[in-house]
Chains A and B, each alone.
Chain A
């Protein structure tokens, strides 16, 4: 029975069976109907030693192509400092579970408190939860929160300029949760406020979700949104890229009620789509409607400052079917990623990340346009991501880039390519991208 993960010797087993009051292992399963007992070995591969595992899994990883990433679309290749991986690997963090026993979980509880504090600083929202799964599910939870808070209204408006993968998840959750989800169309690459105003004027809207920056990388102007939305007693939700909030007007400053998004851009590797970390923040008024775990500060019986899971009356293990949400495990370790990242970068570093991304992306955009074969689709301000129209054969261009280990320019619509350039691209990589493209002219 014994192997490196199962420590039972034959003697152990015999002694334990005796204490358990049975003769054989099978006796422990005598309550299971005979028909459903598995009487054969699983049809799966034989055990691999660590040597074989390294070769085999390593081989799979080598079938993937490591590229210079010039794409965003909801997953951004920002710099991830080496400190993060070292700290994350500490098994006191890695192998703990949800901090139910606060007295021996102060490490986890405190970093979540710091995470909440930092996300609150970034978003300008007074309270933030301990994390969600990813950006799209955080957005879906925000949508359901709008409906729960409004009680009798079930219509939620969302901007067509939200990222595609966010819209997909919203649509699914809306369908099953019974939310009447209505799209606000775009005009010139940004949300058409006049349509939103008229949709709102009916008076049956529970919430409005917009995106900053949006799916084209454009920085939208939400002047007047909060007034119109709040006049109809609807909740104003802003989906954001938190990295950008170091320099962009925050959801709090736009007077939004809820901020949500994906924290991946704060130092988390691309990981082929996950694990990332969703976040949600709200006004004080909506604090008790927030889904997920929340950590609060308190004291122990000796007066020592300490941290604890709080406001648990909202949660599924207390309220069951009346809970605000079903979320239980979240992405705690990824919240630690983000917390360490923000500690290292500080206000100055995060601003510099945005400056470098801004400069790099605008340089690439200008250089592409100078070739005469690219032009910006929308004349709108952008930060690090932009949509260009091209007369070059797209498939050929993408193939050529990939051959040169460059992944860039996903086609949002025929002939329209979305590029993203962060601080993580060196000048050599940038010149290589431009050279490959120029070689096709």
Chain B
């Protein structure tokens, strides 16, 4: 049994303890005392003073208050929480990768450049596009980079007036935010009652000020945009480009490629579709791919191969510029590359179908107790609009919190915004039928509890390291550091 643990590392500090060892100084004649006093730190440095063992126990205890994928089922919609294979970690940690300085000459990092280059080739084939940059650090960073490619393309053609980007109302929040950061104006297009883009609503928006459209397909409801070919035709006819938000790429693996649907630019989340660990919110990686003709606009530096088969770093003059210090989260690329090679062409084609089967299986199994607003097949994820029986007053938040009591991570809730009680479930292909059956049984149990014992559900969770939090006070009177805490009456022991 894990004991209750409630210490901050600062609270373990005792003057004089130390958790490191460093060599003797062989050149003491050169001393920091020579730094001019105007440039010296005066304030004491309030870091904890703790022993190595203190640190190990402290963070081990903290880890016990965390729920990871390896702990249990994590059906967080739109996040593709699939198993993170252990061999990926072993490969990432090879010293020949982790100890490379980013500015080392190309001749001394041929292996790293080859890996980058090869991963680019694999991603291009899987996406049906011409070339990828793997420099972006995350999905949202990929979106921003992709939109920069879009603008760069229009600017290089001297078409400066294209400053609008069309975004569906069901889009991830990062889509409009990325557009705004990129200096584009967001125009929202409404969805039909089936949750897909309304082509009739789209048509009047298309004019010569449109830079392009951002789409997620399947969209955030897990529904495939059936009119995609018509949409692609319309957008291209007006001179715009199509951007594919690859957050939902997983169900397409093996079945359908964004490039073949007419998309010009896309990003992929390596930490979703290609199994790299989410790390509590990063590091991720958001490679951006483009169709033929747009390659040179991709950000610098480029990794290229010469006629002799040697790899080199290139700065392209047509490029939109640099969006990362070096070539991105290289360590994440090693993991994703390992994953793709482990699956190979024989297995990767089953990823999309099995992810889709898992989602449909849950969707159909629970639709008698949870409200299913959109019927028909879904792809990798789907959305319920809360419990079917709304008379109990038990909300989606309550259901989510009760799931924690039963050892499951909650689905994504209250997104997309199209439904008031949205519960967005994405099981991924790495979960077995047995795990799904356990989840279905617990969801049924919660639906029953909501009727028979609603207070238990409304006050959940009961068995977690902490219970529901006072988020209002946290936002109204922010305590963001240990120092803030020491100065605040609410936190006096």
Across the interface, A42 reaches (CB within 8 A) one of B126, B229, B284, namely B126
In the complex, the 9 A-B pairs of residues with the closest C-beta atoms, listed nearest first: A273-B326, A47-B344, A61-B96, A333-B279, A172-B321, A63-B111, A107-B66, A273-B102, A275-B283
Which of A15, A101, A175, A345 counts the most chain B CB atoms within 10 A?
Answer: A101
B173 near A320: Cβ-Cβ < 8 Å: yes
How far apart are the CA atoms of A425 and B141 in the complex, in Å?
A: 35
**CB closest chain-A residue, reference B118:** A60
- Interface status of B45 (Cβ within 8 A of chain A): yes
- Interface status of A180 (Cβ within 8 A of chain B): no
- Specify which chain B residues have a CB less than 8 angstroms from the CB of A74 in the assembled complex: 325
**CB closest chain-B residue, reference A94:** B277
A61-B70 in contact given A75-B101, A247-B41 (Cβ < 8 Å): no
**CB closest chain-A residue, reference B182:** A176
Q: What's the nearest-Cβ distance from chain B to residue A308, in Å?
A: 5
- Specify which chain B residues have a CB less than 8 angstroms from the CB of A219 in the assembled complex: 35-36, 39
Interface string of B310-340 (1 = CB under 8 A from A): 0000000000111111111111101001101
A101 near B410: Cβ-Cβ < 8 Å: yes
How far apart are the CA atoms of A360 and B22 in the complex, in Å?
A: 13
**CB closest chain-B residue, reference A106:** B65
CB under 8 Å from chain B, chain A span 351-371 = 351-356, 358-360, 362-363, 366
B55 near A83: Cβ-Cβ < 8 Å: yes
Q: What's the nearest-Cβ distance from chain B to residue A78, in Å?
A: 11
Q: What's the nearest-Cβ distance from chain A to residue B5, in Å?
A: 9
**CB closest chain-A residue, reference B66:** A107
Interface string of A20-43 (1 = CB under 8 A from B): 111001011111110111100111
A172 near B322: Cβ-Cβ < 8 Å: yes
Across the interface, B67 reaches (CB within 8 A) one of A30, A35, A96, namely A96
Which of A6, A92, A97 counts the most chain B CB atoms within 10 A?
Answer: A97
- Interface status of A440 (Cβ within 8 A of chain B): no
- Interface status of A391 (Cβ within 8 A of chain B): no
How far apart are the CA atoms of A355 and B33 in the complex, in Å?
A: 9
B347 near A177: Cβ-Cβ < 8 Å: no
Interface string of A395-410 (1 = CB under 8 A from B): 0001000100001001
How far apart are the CA atoms of A37 and B229 in the complex, in Å?
A: 12
Q: What's the nearest-Cβ distance from chain B to residue A319, in Å?
A: 8
Across the interface, B140 reaches (CB within 8 A) one of A77, A328, A345, namely A328
How far apart are the CA atoms of A14 and B10 in the complex, in Å?
A: 55
- Interface status of B429 (Cβ within 8 A of chain A): yes
- Interface status of A231 (Cβ within 8 A of chain B): no
CB under 8 Å from chain A, chain B span 264-289 = 271, 275, 277-284
How far apart are the CA atoms of A333 and B279 in the complex, in Å?
A: 5
Across the interface, B76 reaches (CB within 8 A) one of A46, A69, A97, namely A97
Across the interface, B47 reaches (CB within 8 A) one of A25, A92, A135, A347, namely A347
Interface stretch of the complex, out of B202-210, B236-244, B353-361: B353-361
B102 near A272: Cβ-Cβ < 8 Å: yes
23 contacts between A and B (CB under 8 A): A5-B343, A15-B433, A25-B357, A28-B356, A28-B379, A44-B345, A89-B89, A90-B60, A91-B71, A94-B89, A95-B278, A108-B66, A249-B42, A272-B331, A275-B331, A298-B474, A300-B466, A301-B470, A310-B471, A311-B475, A339-B9, A346-B47, A356-B25
Interface string of B445-456 (1 = CB under 8 A from A): 000000000000
Across the interface, A340 reaches (CB within 8 A) one of B55, B176, B468, namely B55
How far apart are the CA atoms of A197 and B56 in the complex, in Å?
A: 50
A42 near B348: Cβ-Cβ < 8 Å: yes
Residue count of chain B within 8 Å CB distance of chain A: 205
- Specify which chain A residues have a CB less than 8 angstroms from the CB of B201 in the assembled complex: none
**CB closest chain-B residue, reference A425:** B23
A311 near B39: Cβ-Cβ < 8 Å: no
B8 near A332: Cβ-Cβ < 8 Å: no
B103 near A75: Cβ-Cβ < 8 Å: yes
- Specify which chain B residues have a CB less than 8 angstroms from the CB of A106 in the assembled complex: 62, 65-66, 465-466
- Specify which chain A residues have a CB less than 8 angstroms from the CB of B350 in the assembled complex: 1, 3, 6
Q: What's the nearest-Cβ distance from chain B to residue A1, in Å?
A: 5
- Interface status of B157 (Cβ within 8 A of chain A): no
- Interface status of B305 (Cβ within 8 A of chain A): no
A326 near B103: Cβ-Cβ < 8 Å: no
B111 near A353: Cβ-Cβ < 8 Å: no
- Interface status of A416 (Cβ within 8 A of chain B): no
**CB closest chain-A residue, reference B128:** A38
A345 near B475: Cβ-Cβ < 8 Å: no
- Specify which chain A residues have a CB less than 8 angstroms from the CB of B133 in the assembled complex: none
- Interface status of B110 (Cβ within 8 A of chain A): yes
- Specify which chain B residues have a CB less than 8 angstroms from the CB of A113 in the assembled complex: 8, 480-482
Interface string of B44-61 (1 = CB under 8 A from A): 111111101001101110
- Interface status of B83 (Cβ within 8 A of chain A): yes
A92 near B87: Cβ-Cβ < 8 Å: no
A104 near B404: Cβ-Cβ < 8 Å: yes
- Specify which chain A residues have a CB less than 8 angstroms from the CB of B255 in the assembled complex: 29, 32, 37-38
- Interface status of A285 (Cβ within 8 A of chain B): no
- Specify which chain B residues have a CB less than 8 angstroms from the CB of A7 in the assembled complex: 430-433
A121 near B45: Cβ-Cβ < 8 Å: yes
B23 near A426: Cβ-Cβ < 8 Å: yes
- Interface status of B177 (Cβ within 8 A of chain A): yes
**CB closest chain-B residue, reference A74:** B325
- Interface status of B114 (Cβ within 8 A of chain A): yes
- Specify which chain B residues have a CB less than 8 angstroms from the CB of A67 in the assembled complex: 99, 101, 104, 108
- Specify which chain B residues have a CB less than 8 angstroms from the CB of A427 in the assembled complex: 26
CB under 8 Å from chain A, chain B span 138-191 = 138-141, 143-144, 147-148, 151, 173-174, 176-183, 186
How far apart are the CA atoms of A44 and B345 in the complex, in Å?
A: 6
- Interface status of A286 (Cβ within 8 A of chain B): no
A126 near B481: Cβ-Cβ < 8 Å: yes
- Specify which chain B residues have a CB less than 8 angstroms from the CB of A103 in the assembled complex: 401, 404, 461, 464-469
- Interface status of B68 (Cβ within 8 A of chain A): yes
- Interface status of B444 (Cβ within 8 A of chain A): no
A21 near B364: Cβ-Cβ < 8 Å: yes
- Specify which chain A residues have a CB less than 8 angstroms from the CB of B429 in the assembled complex: 5-6, 8
How far apart are the CA atoms of A348 and B354 in the complex, in Å?
A: 54
Q: A114-B10, A328-B138, A350-B45 are in contact. List 10 more A-B contacts (CB 8 A).
A: A1-B353, A7-B430, A71-B101, A117-B480, A272-B112, A293-B281, A316-B174, A321-B177, A325-B177, A350-B47
Q: What's the nearest-Cβ distance from chain A to residue B43, in Å?
A: 6
CB under 8 Å from chain A, chain B span 333-391 = 334, 337-338, 340-351, 353-354, 356-358, 360-361, 363-365, 376-377, 379
CB under 8 Å from chain A, chain B span 373-428 = 376-377, 379, 400-401, 404, 409-410, 412, 415
- Interface status of A434 (Cβ within 8 A of chain B): no
A296 near B480: Cβ-Cβ < 8 Å: yes
B6 near A93: Cβ-Cβ < 8 Å: no
Q: What's the nearest-Cβ distance from chain B to residue A60, in Å?
A: 4
- Interface status of B1 (Cβ within 8 A of chain A): no
A326 near B177: Cβ-Cβ < 8 Å: yes
- Interface status of B307 (Cβ within 8 A of chain A): no
- Interface status of B226 (Cβ within 8 A of chain A): yes
Which of B45, B346, B479 counts the most chain A CB atoms within 10 A?
Answer: B45
Across the interface, A348 reaches (CB within 8 A) one of B49, B141, B182, B278, namely B49
- Interface status of A201 (Cβ within 8 A of chain B): no
How far apart are the CA atoms of A276 and B346 in the complex, in Å?
A: 34
Q: What's the nearest-Cβ distance from chain B to residue A222, in Å?
A: 9
B279 near A94: Cβ-Cβ < 8 Å: yes
A29 near B356: Cβ-Cβ < 8 Å: yes
Across the interface, A116 reaches (CB within 8 A) one of B254, B282, B481, namely B481
- Interface status of A271 (Cβ within 8 A of chain B): yes
- Specify which chain A residues have a CB less than 8 angstroms from the CB of B469 in the assembled complex: 102-103, 298-301, 306, 308
**CB closest chain-B residue, reference A402:** B108
Across the interface, A35 reaches (CB within 8 A) one of B101, B229, B356, B410, namely B229
A296 near B474: Cβ-Cβ < 8 Å: yes
How far apart are the CA atoms of A332 and B200 in the complex, in Å?
A: 42
- Specify which chain B residues have a CB less than 8 angstroms from the CB of A173 in the assembled complex: 181, 323
- Specify which chain A residues have a CB less than 8 angstroms from the CB of B479 in the assembled complex: 296-298
Across the interface, B105 reaches (CB within 8 A) one of A178, A316, A334, A402, namely A402
